[in-house]
Amino acid sequence: MAKHFLYSLLFACLMAGRCVAADSSISSEASSVADYEQQVREVAKRTAAEAKAKREQERLERAKTASNTTNVESYRVFKYKKDGATAFSDSAPYKTKYEVVVYNSCYACSIVSNVDWYKTRLHLTEFSDTIAVAAQAYKVDAGFIRAIIHAESAFNPLARSRKGAMGLMQLMPGTAKDMGVFDTTNPEQNIRGGVKYLAGLLQTFNGNEALAAAAYNAGAGAVTRHGGIPPYEETKTYVKRVKILAERYKNQKQLAAN
């Protein structure tokens, strides 16, 4: 009888031990589930935050694109023929065939331009008196002046870049003010101010037209810092094209003199 009691007690203890072990196992599994659920919640929260940030970035990029498109549209110029001469207007001419010209940057600045700079038509007669007077007043070669105007605006007095450069010689507002230009769309004021600025650059760089052209595009500070033409693709391209145009304009002047 006592032996049976002992066996019963041992069995009960063993069963109690098993119950404790089972309880411990269940507790461990519950803890693992809780940890896993916490990890899932954290991953979900992080994913949602990343998705929200991505949507916001996409929204900002769309807004920027729309803004750039609006800016480009505001710089449209209408090119047409009037009495046999090329004319420009900021509004579409009435009952006249025209071409829409959009300016994002200077005419010769695009590194992907398909213009043949050795053959493109030169502007030999436009604003002749104003260019001649400015060339004489500031001692700058008229052919070089025409090359800069051609490279900057293709002789469009209404040209305006996305950065805010305006007129024939694409003067920035600050530069225009410093050069005494009050109306950048006025060809006489724009040319005189642009040539005055160009003369200062030529003086700074000892008459070197390539460096003056580089400074006209990238700023005198950039040329000084780099000890020559800055290593910017746009500026290097611009300088090459200005040189081609200047040589062609000067050659035309020499031919006319002969």
User: Which residues are known to be catalytic?
Assistant: 152
Spacing of C-alpha 50 from chain mean position: 29
Q: Which residue has the tokens 């480009």?
A: 72
CA-closest candidate to residue 196, choices 175, 178, 179: 179
SS3 226: helix
* DSSP symbol at 254: H
| Dihedrals phi, psi of 136, to nearest 5 degrees | -70, -40
Write the CB contacts of 232 (distance below 8 Å, at least 6 apart in sequence): 218, 222
Q: Which residue has the tokens 């940890």?
A: 35
* Full strand arrangement of the beta sheet holding 76-82: 85-89, 76-82, 98-102
CA separation for the pair 22, 29 (Å, rounded): 10
